Amino acid sequence: MSNEDIKHDDQNLVPGRRKFLNTAALAGLAGAGLSVGLSSCKQEAAPPAAAPAGAPAAPAAAAHGAAGDLNLHPAPGQLDTYYGVWSGGHSGEVRVLGLPSGREIKRVPTFNIDCMSGWGITNESKAIIGTKADGSLKYKTGDTHHIHGSYVDGTYDGKYFFVNDKIHGRIARIRGDIFECDKITEIPNIQGFHGIFPDKRDPVDQAINHTTRVFCGNEFHIPHPNDGRDADDPTKYKTLFTCVDSETMEVRWQCRVDGNMDLVATSYNGRLAAANQYNTEGGAKYEDMMSAEKDACVFFDVGRIEKAIKDGKFVTIGDSKVPVVDGTKEANKDPKTALTCYVPVPKNPHGVNASPDGKYFICSGKLSPTATVIELTKVEEFLDGKLDDVNKSIVAEVEIGLGPLHTTFDGRGNAFTTLFLDSQIVKWNIDAAIKFHAGDKNVKYVVDRIDVHYQPGHISTDMGETKEAGGQFLAVGCKFSKDRFLPVGPLHPENEQLIDIRGEKMVMLADHPVYPEPHDFVIVKRDKIKTRQVFNVDDFPNAVKDAKDSGVFREGNKVTVKLVSQAPAYSLRDFKLKKGDEVTIILTNLDKVEDLTHGFAIPKYDINFIVNPQETKSVTFKADKPGVYWCYCTHFCHALHLEMRTRMIVEK
């Protein structure tokens, strides 16, 4: 299973191996194959195969051994030219990178707890995350996978980024102007929420040419509702595809389907959303999940679904009031009225991606060494009763290598697919693949391969998820880094590698270690993002707008302490409480200078948070420990930062 074992045929540099990996071979990967791949990493990987002479031409790009004008290493003070918006996997966070330098500029606490910013500590963040009846956080863990930006006219508008939580089935929204999470929604009756994608145009009103909905793929099938019933009978387990309103962040509707969904993609014309599916068998053990030779890419006719709901053709599940339509295969046999359309693809596919020209959806084989190219208009024709066989929407299904997972695009007709088992990226030409599939076996659709380090998952080019795909460079998230960085003990970083794609051949540019474990990411031209660098004090209803409004305000044992910060002091030098008080501290940072953030920590009371310029935050706690507590500024602000304190005195 190591790279050295791969034999390429003369035609398309395709591994000359079994078309499908069978169950026994895959189970064995853990013991032998994958282990060999993993332990052989210290050997120099073979150079990528030479590009065949007949490969489709990429636009002129001079031979370049290094980064050329990509400015991989900005000089001190120089800015990057792209934002990378990265999911943080089961760190629960989102990250903002500068690219091409790969420098991490910000972490955006989302589903996790972050004691730097006070995320999960302040009342404002707790209201977003959600609390139990006793006021404590409902969840402190999360697993972000896929992150996508909101669209206008087929490209990013920089307004929002959406990201899922796989553990608890939630979707979060990140504001693009401040890079902070402002909404989290828990989706009912799902488990293992994997992929998301915003729509790019309204499926009902074509005049609305921007994102209004986000679609959510549900991976694990469970009883409906999941209250203890049907636990022993996996045949009764179900999955739901969910539509969330991008503005209100409320769940609009759900659609029941067969199979386990991972990734989601949407059409540029707004009509269709799609999700790759594995385990259409409905198995509860991994061998059962890959017994069938074919799974599916399921397409959703959004307009028809919303019409069905309008017509009352839905049910609800348990306590949830969300309308649920039936999108199972069995219930949608007539294409002309079908809400869904199941396009068969080789077993256990992973990843579905829409090409920037709007024409194709590409499904990666995972357990099949193939990519399947589905032509969007043909799916629409099938749904309109104009195509007799849904299989005719498959315009190519070509071998590209072992373990294909995700695909991205350069905007020049080429696709780049990660090959997990080969530890490679394969660059292939979509038109050439279609010609090959149509019968012209002389066409060489594979343009290039490059070794990556190691076991790649997601991949994304600059603006590759938009119609403005730039074709400059790509990032690839390698799940294993092994020997690529200084050793730091048993837990390794992941390796986000950067690759130049301007020429016909790919050129490896850089390794970037990242804390586990990013899944997906998007690369956004910097002019798409317009940030607000100082808050507006009026945006906070509880703001303390003047230092003279500071004070301790008591109603029985409920006490509100109003404070402002202005370097190097808080407006109260001390404040007194009584043991047993229920205390709310409201702090407004009246400093207006950009970057002049203050912190507020209370020793032994387990409180810390920051207030950015002109921002207001609050915390609520019980004053249960008498004594003197020096609340201090934790965020270096001034030459007298160390002296910036206020004494909280809790009387016995």
Residues 84-113 that bind a copy of itself (CB under 8 A): 88-92, 96, 98, 102-107, 111-113
Which residue has tokens 């730091």? 488
Closer of 228 and 541 to a copy of itself (Cβ): 228
Q: Which of 651, 632, 618 is nearest to 541 (CA)?
A: 618
Chain positions 299 to 318 lying near a copy of itself, rule: CB under 8 A, are none
Which residue has tokens 């009902």? 204
Number of H helices, E strands in the chain: 7, 39
Chain positions 15 to 44 lying near a copy of itself, rule: CB under 8 A, are 21, 26-27, 29-30, 34-35, 38-39
Distance CA 297, CA 375 (A): 12
Closer of 181 and 433 to a copy of itself (Cβ): 181
Q: Which of 204, 318, 220 is nearest to 278 (CA)?
A: 220
Select from 130, 282, 303, 513 the one that contacts a copy of itself (CB under 8 A).
513
Write the DSSP assignment of 510-526 as a string of letters: EEEEESS----EEEEEG
| Site membership for a copy of itself, residue 169 (CB under 8 A) | yes
Minimum distance from CB of 40 to a copy of itself (Å)? 11
Minimum distance from CB of 509 to a copy of itself (Å)? 7
Minimum distance from CB of 81 to a copy of itself (Å)? 9
| Site membership for a copy of itself, residue 72 (CB under 8 A) | yes
CA distances from 353 to 73, 119, 276 (A): 30, 33, 10
Chain positions 548 to 577 lying near a copy of itself, rule: CB under 8 A, are 566-569, 573-574
Distance CA 339, CA 308 (A): 9
Select from 13, 20, 114, 161 the one that contacts a copy of itself (CB under 8 A).
114
For a copy of itself, how many residues bind (rule: CB under 8 A)? Answer: 162
Closer of 226 and 377 to a copy of itself (Cβ): 226
Minimum distance from CB of 344 to a copy of itself (Å)? 19
Chain positions 633 to 652 lying near a copy of itself, rule: CB under 8 A, are 634-640, 642-645, 647, 649-652
Minimum distance from CB of 383 to a copy of itself (Å)? 29
| Site membership for a copy of itself, residue 134 (CB under 8 A) | no
b or e along 595-609 (b: 16 or more beta carbons within 10 Å of the residue's beta carbon)? ebbbbbbbeebebbb
Select from 128, 284, 537, 552 the one that contacts a copy of itself (CB under 8 A).
284
Task: Say if residues 171 and 196 touch (Cβ distance below 8 Å).
Answer: yes
Chain positions 445 to 474 lying near a copy of itself, rule: CB under 8 A, are 453, 455, 457
Which residues lie below 8 Å from residue 545, measured CB to CB, with a gap of 6+? 537, 588, 590
| Site membership for a copy of itself, residue 140 (CB under 8 A) | yes
| Site membership for a copy of itself, residue 329 (CB under 8 A) | no
Q: Which tokens sit at 171? A: 């979707």
Task: Pick the stretch among 146-154, 278-286, 460-468, 555-563 that binds a copy of itself (CB under 8 A).
Answer: 278-286
Minimum distance from CB of 225 to a copy of itself (Å)? 8
Strand 645-651 versus strand 574-578 pairing type: parallel
Minimum distance from CB of 313 to a copy of itself (Å)? 28
CB atoms within 10 A of CB 132: 9
| Site membership for a copy of itself, residue 128 (CB under 8 A) | no
| Per-residue contact flags (x/-) with a copy of itself for residues 360 to 399, judged by CB under 8 A | ------xx--------------------------------
| Site membership for a copy of itself, residue 613 (CB under 8 A) | yes
Task: Pick the stretch among 210-218, 297-305, 460-468, 594-602 that binds a copy of itself (CB under 8 A).
Answer: 594-602
Minimum distance from CB of 217 to a copy of itself (Å)? 12
Q: Which of 563, 565, 552, 562 is nearest to 612 (CA)?
A: 565
Is the Cα torsion angle 421, 422, 423, 428 positive or negative in sign?
Answer: negative
Chain positions 230 to 269 lying near a copy of itself, rule: CB under 8 A, are 231-232, 237, 262
Distance CA 108, CA 88 (A): 9
What residues form DSSP beta bridges with 461?
A: 474
b or e along 464-479 (b: 16 or more beta carbons within 10 Å of the residue's beta carbon)? bbbbbbbbbbbbbbbb
Q: In what order do the strands lie in the sheet with 155-165?
A: 144-152, 155-165, 170-175, 180-186
Minimum distance from CB of 231 to a copy of itself (Å)? 5
Distance CA 487, CA 551 (A): 52
Task: Pick the stretch among 4-12, 376-384, 462-470, 611-619 that binds a copy of itself (CB under 8 A).
Answer: 611-619
Q: Is 196 exposed, middle or buried (0-12, 13-18, 19+ CB in 10 A)?
A: buried
| Site membership for a copy of itself, residue 170 (CB under 8 A) | no
Minimum distance from CB of 120 to a copy of itself (Å)? 8
Minimum distance from CB of 58 to a copy of itself (Å)? 22
Select from 22, 131, 141, 248 the one that contacts a copy of itself (CB under 8 A).
141
Q: Tell me 29's DSSP state.
A: I
Distance CA 346, CA 3 (A): 23
Chain positions 337 to 356 lying near a copy of itself, rule: CB under 8 A, are 348, 350
Closer of 329 and 578 to a copy of itself (Cβ): 578
Minimum distance from CB of 6 to a copy of itself (Å)? 15
Closer of 151 and 454 to a copy of itself (Cβ): 454
Task: Say if residues 94 and 174 touch (Cβ distance below 8 Å).
Answer: yes
Write the DSSP assignment of 523-554 as a string of letters: EEEGGG----SS--GGG-TT---SGGG-EEEE
Select from 243, 290, 309, 395 the one that contacts a copy of itself (CB under 8 A).
290
| Site membership for a copy of itself, residue 532 (CB under 8 A) | yes
